Structure 1
Amino acid sequence: MPYDHHDAEPVVLPTARAAGCPFDPAAGLDRLREERPLRRMAYPDGHVGWLATGHAECRAILADPRFSSRYELMHHPLPGAPEGPLPPAPPGDMTGMDAPEHTRYRRLLMGRFTVRRMRLLTERVEEITADRLDALAARGPGADLVPVFAQPVPALLICELLGVPYADRETFQRQALTLMSAQAAPEEREAAMTGLMEYMHGLVLAKRAEPTDDLLSDLVRDSGLDDRELSGLGAFLLAAGLDTTANMLAHGTFALLSDPEQAAAVRAEPELAAGAVEELMRYLTVAHTTVRSALEDVEVGGQLVRAGESVTLALDAANRDPRRFDDPDSLDVRRAATGHLGFGHGVHQCLGQQLARVELTVALPALLRRFPTLRLALAPEDVPLRTDMNIYGVHSLPVTWDED
């Protein structure tokens, strides 16, 4: 029989960060994980569900089809969320769908994001990276790494892959950032989604009239999706390809510059690059939480999650679980960090993870080699953190170096 903690006092999701280290999970999550890696949690709307902080518990829930990703079934864990049920996922938003809808979209895309296909892009990623490093050098010491390097590298690539004009980036980046904001009002988010969908619909019509050699044209021609689905799927892929990798580039640089020994290893030993990316994904976990809701009674970790209850998965805490990783609060680019949940797990595991790996594996070492004396241009405690966004990172990262 599972041990039922329904009578235990529910906790509130910790969100305040501990002073001193901008890379650690919210203060108190480690204590909650050690006490009970799956425990009762009070949600802002009054729902009493669960908080999962253990690696094994999070991994099990992510892999279990009895837990739903549908937005309209979940309770939001963060204060300030819209009151009442969330609306269903719009067409193309794979994150908020279950099978068979999710399966239908994913099958259309899986073959286009394989390891082999993404590795074929390595040379192009190297070209883009070199160009942006030239731009950073031209700005000179004191330049902000985020708009000059971290944002353009993934943005240029996802635009080329989809067939989206990079010249339009100010429009769609602003809308994507609004959708990623944890503090945007519902009407702001709705306006951003409408604007992004309208922009993509215009592109879909253009691709239908004059197809080009890109993913969106392929989908228009071969997928069987209607224009609304194509617009939604294009918007989803564009937003996903812009923000997460950009934050990993900037936040990963911040972490490496905060630990010169680790940065020196990545700079000097090219063979460490791929493993260093996995370790940074584990250590930083820029997508802190995700939510699932039980479709039926499910036993997890010896406890009973009842049908209709939401579970918030603290992936950042799970990736620091000492039951899974030795010395988990240390950044160690020589660690074998396989099994981390930085890209998620199960059927919703990040579709673009292989693309992100190529981008990060090329760009981070290239940055460190191009600027051997690279360092922060301000005190670490003054770096503005993205505590107001659903994807964690930094809003800006001024850097400096010694010029020859």
Structure 2
Amino acid sequence: MTSELAFSSAEVIGDPYPHFAAARARAGVQWHDRTGMWLAFGYAEANAVLRSRTLGRIWTPRWPDVPMPGFELIHRNSMLENEPPAHTRLRRLVAGAFARGHVERLRPRVAALADRLADGLAEAGRDGRAVDLIAGFAEPLPVQVIAELLGVPEADRALLRPWSNAIVKMYEYQVSDAQRNAAETAAREFVAYLRELVAQRRRRPEPDLISSLFAETDSAGARLDEDELVTTCTLLLNAGHEASVNVVGNGVLALFGHPEQWQRLLEAEAAGRSLVDTGVEELIRFDSPLQLFERTAIADTRIGEVTVRTGEKVAALLGSANRDPAVFDDPDRLDVGRTDNPHLGFGAGIHFCLGAPLARVELQTSLRTLLRRFPGLRPAVVDLTGLRRAEFVIRGVSSLPVHLS
């Protein structure tokens, strides 16, 4: 069966979920002529795509005739773009560095940063003025957290978000020459910056993740080389903060559309039986920040009712999987108290998001701070549909004007 899903259409970008539901009803896996790959719409099929050991992340330049050495460097050496044994070695070393307590070290700092940003919002929103929740809160918090995690000096932190913004635009299926050039420039600049920061930490280690990463060795005495270390840092920024920004933006937008769920969160906080943890997982499920994860068959692989032949690509449509009624009761209903929630928002299998614990700390802190500081939060515009970024793979909002009370 062939899918006609148009990733770039305004209708699909605005609300892909009815399109996913219609496709899932026809078949769990369908061929997509526009991208030349299979699409897995069902939960079981998407989960199989993520977990199958005969489907791999195989990095190849998207435009082989266009030199993009900076962009290629941060993907060739990434654990996300490698399979065992390279992936196993990279993930073991990075996980070992993470295990040194960096997430727990940051927990109180995340709370302090969220409160400081909330102070700024409150000041900007005095006298009922509208403020942008994305620019004033959702964007700066994860960038500040990743910067602290890596040990990026405060004076340099404003560089990070523009670099990441330019790089992640390359994961869409329609990319202009200008976007491609901007991504390569950003990748080169970020790599050069990180090389200098790594050199500084080699001379004088600090209690940050970069220092832990170059000090980490596995049982065989292996270490990350400099290209791998730099690539890991770019992955942490791009994957880490993009997801957090978009869960907050998508999540608040969803809560505006379901005000009874915002009220439910408020009442639970007041009663001392918080629903923040389940609420965050539900917001990730309900409107997934990453919609598509692509893999390539290294051997013929059965997914659902089709066989993905060696060399063919197949993509797990995470947003579709997370609304599959075969797994989720009443999947199109936002339920912040949902407990049976095995969503695929952080992936699955060997590429399950290594930064998920930190992302959860950021997201839980963000939601709890908004509930506590701005219980009367409400949209400042009538038409919320026009706030969407014009991108399919990484789903988010460009801005979110709000009144704080």
TM-score, length-scaled by structure 2:
0.87
Q: Aligned pair in 2 of structure 1 residues 334, 362: CA closer, same or farther (>3 Å)? A: same
With 332-341 and 185-194 compared, the bigger mean Cα shift is at: 185-194
1:228 matched residue in structure 2 = 227
1:32 matched residue in structure 2 = 23
- Residue-by-residue CA offset, 1:25-45 (whole Å, 9 max, x unaligned): 25522111111011222144x
2:144 matches 1:156:
yes
Secondary structure, aligned partner of 2:32: strand
Once the two structures are TM-superposed, the CA of residue 111 in structure 1 deviates from its matched residue by: 3.8
2:289 matches 1:286:
yes
- Once residues 286 and 116 of structure 1 are traced to their aligned partners in structure 2, the CA distance between those partners, rounded to angstroms, is 27
**119, 123, 148: which is aligned to 1:138?**
123
Once the two structures are TM-superposed, the CA of residue 116 in structure 1 deviates from its matched residue by: 7.5
1:76 matched residue in structure 2 = none
- Residue-by-residue CA offset, 1:105-145 (whole Å, 9 max, x unaligned): 11112244469863553322211111111111011131111
2:396 matches 1:396:
no
Q: Counterparts of 1:364-379 in structure 2 under 5 Å?
A: 364-379=367-382
**322, 326, 341: which is aligned to 1:323?**
326
Given that 1:50 and 1:310 are in contact with CA atoms closer than 8 Å, whether structure 2 keeps it comes out as yes
1:77 matched residue in structure 2 = none
Q: Counterparts of 1:182-197 in structure 2 under 5 Å?
A: 182=172, 183=175, 185=177, 186-197=180-191
Given that 1:285 and 1:315 are in contact with CA atoms closer than 8 Å, whether structure 2 keeps it comes out as yes
**177, 198, 207: which is aligned to 2:165?**
177
- Once residues 28 and 238 of structure 1 are traced to their aligned partners in structure 2, the CA distance between those partners, rounded to angstroms, is 31
What is the identity percentage for the equivalent residue pairs of Structure 1 and Structure 2?
35
**200, 211, 225: which is aligned to 1:206?**
200
Q: Counterparts of 1:2-401 in structure 2 under 5 Å?
A: 8=1, 10-15=2-7, 16=9, 18=11, 22=14, 24-25=15-16, 28-44=19-35, 47=36, 49-72=37-60, 82=63, 90-113=75-98, 118-119=103-104, 121-140=106-125, 141-181=129-169, 182=172, 183=175, 185=177, 186-223=180-217, 224-270=223-269, 271-381=274-384, 383-388=386-391, 390-401=393-404
Given that 1:178 and 1:184 are in contact with CA atoms closer than 8 Å, whether structure 2 keeps it comes out as no
With 354-363 and 235-244 compared, the bigger mean Cα shift is at: 235-244
Given that 2:73 and 2:227 are in contact with CA atoms closer than 8 Å, whether structure 1 keeps it comes out as no
- Once residues 67 and 305 of structure 1 are traced to their aligned partners in structure 2, the CA distance between those partners, rounded to angstroms, is 9
Secondary structure, aligned partner of 1:255: helix
Secondary structure, aligned partner of 1:269: helix
- Once residues 340 and 84 of structure 1 are traced to their aligned partners in structure 2, the CA distance between those partners, rounded to angstroms, is 39
- Once residues 222 and 29 of structure 1 are traced to their aligned partners in structure 2, the CA distance between those partners, rounded to angstroms, is 43
Q: Aligned pair in 2 of structure 1 residues 41, 383: CA closer, same or farther (>3 Å)? A: closer
Aligned length: 382
Q: Aligned pair in 2 of structure 1 residues 115, 370: CA closer, same or farther (>3 Å)? A: farther
Any stretches of 5+ residues in structure 1 without a counterpart? 1-7, 74-80
Given that 1:244 and 1:286 are in contact with CA atoms closer than 8 Å, whether structure 2 keeps it comes out as yes
Q: Aligned pair in 2 of structure 1 residues 326, 394: CA closer, same or farther (>3 Å)? A: same
Once the two structures are TM-superposed, the CA of residue 323 in structure 1 deviates from its matched residue by: 0.7
Q: Aligned pair in 2 of structure 1 residues 125, 171: CA closer, same or farther (>3 Å)? A: closer
Given that 1:376 and 1:400 are in contact with CA atoms closer than 8 Å, whether structure 2 keeps it comes out as yes
Q: Aligned pair in 2 of structure 1 residues 89, 227: CA closer, same or farther (>3 Å)? A: closer
- Once residues 326 and 307 of structure 2 are traced to their aligned partners in structure 1, the CA distance between those partners, rounded to angstroms, is 22
- Residue-by-residue CA offset, 1:286-337 (whole Å, 9 max, x unaligned): 1000111111111222322211111121111111111111111111111124
Q: Aligned pair in 2 of structure 1 residues 68, 125: CA closer, same or farther (>3 Å)? A: same
Given that 1:262 and 1:332 are in contact with CA atoms closer than 8 Å, whether structure 2 keeps it comes out as yes
Secondary structure, aligned partner of 2:275: helix
Once the two structures are TM-superposed, the CA of residue 382 in structure 1 deviates from its matched residue by: 5.3
With 283-292 and 95-104 compared, the bigger mean Cα shift is at: 95-104
- Residue-by-residue CA offset, 1:250-285 (whole Å, 9 max, x unaligned): 221121122111111112213211111111111011
Given that 1:252 and 1:284 are in contact with CA atoms closer than 8 Å, whether structure 2 keeps it comes out as yes
Q: Aligned pair in 2 of structure 1 residues 88, 169: CA closer, same or farther (>3 Å)? A: closer
Q: Aligned pair in 2 of structure 1 residues 279, 370: CA closer, same or farther (>3 Å)? A: same
Given that 2:5 and 2:19 are in contact with CA atoms closer than 8 Å, whether structure 1 keeps it comes out as no
Amino acid aligned to 2:242:
D
Secondary structure, aligned partner of 2:338: coil
Once the two structures are TM-superposed, the CA of residue 184 in structure 1 deviates from its matched residue by: 5.0
- Once residues 216 and 113 of structure 1 are traced to their aligned partners in structure 2, the CA distance between those partners, rounded to angstroms, is 10
Q: Aligned pair in 2 of structure 1 residues 96, 177: CA closer, same or farther (>3 Å)? A: same
Given that 2:48 and 2:303 are in contact with CA atoms closer than 8 Å, whether structure 1 keeps it comes out as yes
- Once residues 73 and 103 of structure 2 are traced to their aligned partners in structure 1, the CA distance between those partners, rounded to angstroms, is 31
Given that 2:74 and 2:234 are in contact with CA atoms closer than 8 Å, whether structure 1 keeps it comes out as no
Given that 2:300 and 2:308 are in contact with CA atoms closer than 8 Å, whether structure 1 keeps it comes out as yes
With 112-121 and 372-381 compared, the bigger mean Cα shift is at: 112-121
With 107-116 and 284-293 compared, the bigger mean Cα shift is at: 107-116
Any stretches of 5+ residues in structure 2 without a counterpart? 218-222
Given that 1:38 and 1:51 are in contact with CA atoms closer than 8 Å, whether structure 2 keeps it comes out as yes
Q: Aligned pair in 2 of structure 1 residues 389, 189: CA closer, same or farther (>3 Å)? A: farther
2:220 matched residue in structure 1 = none
Query: Per residue, is there more helix in 1 or in 2?
Result: 2
1:78 matched residue in structure 2 = none
